[in-house]
Amino acid sequence: EPEVTQTPSHQVTQMGQEVILRCVPISNHLYFYWYRQILGQKVEFLVSFYNNEISEKSEIFDDQFSVERPDGSNFTLKIRSTKLEDSAMYFCASNGAWGSNTEAFFGQGTRLTVV
């Protein structure tokens, strides 16, 4: 069964450092997403990406965040200068084309710990 793959599974970084979270979406999917889940809280939408540009972003997705699909395979989330409150589980998801009758598939998540 096709799956969304995220690496690393756990990342520890010092406050102020840049981190890049990586995702390999399902190969024929066209829509890509990042969500985050702070420990004990709900899963929150960060950003959606389609046709090589951001299609929607939440208030959380401020200037310290950026996304990129550098090589047609990977989909990355960069946090430029991490803060303690960025500690969370980050989930990548992908979905097929409109009308393709698929639902969003989520990766296993990357746990980011900022110390």
Partner 1 sequence: GEDVEQSLFLSVREGDSSVINCTYTDSSSTYLYWYKQEPGAGLQLLTYIFSNMDMKQDQRLTVLLNKKDKHLSLRIADTQTGDSAIYFCAESMNRDDKIIFGKGTRLHILP
Instruction: Decide: is 85 part of the binding site for partner 1 (CB under 8 A).
Output: no
> With respect to partner 1, which residue has the nearer C-beta, 77 or 93?
93
State which of positions 19-38 bind partner 1 (CB under 8 A): 31, 33, 35
- Residue 13 touching partner 1 (CB under 8 A): no
Q: CB of residue 19 vs partner 1: minimum separation in angstroms?
A: 19
User: Long-range contacts of range 105-108, CB-CB < 8 Å, 24 or more positions apart?
Assistant: 105/2, 105/3, 105/4, 105/26, 105/29, 106/4, 106/35, 107/3, 107/4, 107/5, 107/6, 107/23, 108/5, 108/6, 108/9
User: Which range in 16-24, 64-72, 77-85, 106-114 contacts partner 1 by CB under 8 A?
Assistant: 106-114
Among 1, 14, 42, 71, binds partner 1 (CB under 8 A): 42
Retrieve residue 71's tokens: 């090589």
Give CA–CA dist 53/112, Å, rounded.
25
Say how many C-beta atoms besides its own lie within 10 A of residue 26's C-beta: 20
Q: Considering the rule CB under 8 A, would residue 102 count as an interface residue with partner 1?
A: yes
Binding site for partner 1 (CB under 8 A): 31, 33, 35, 41-45, 48, 50, 56, 58, 91, 93, 95-96, 98, 101-109
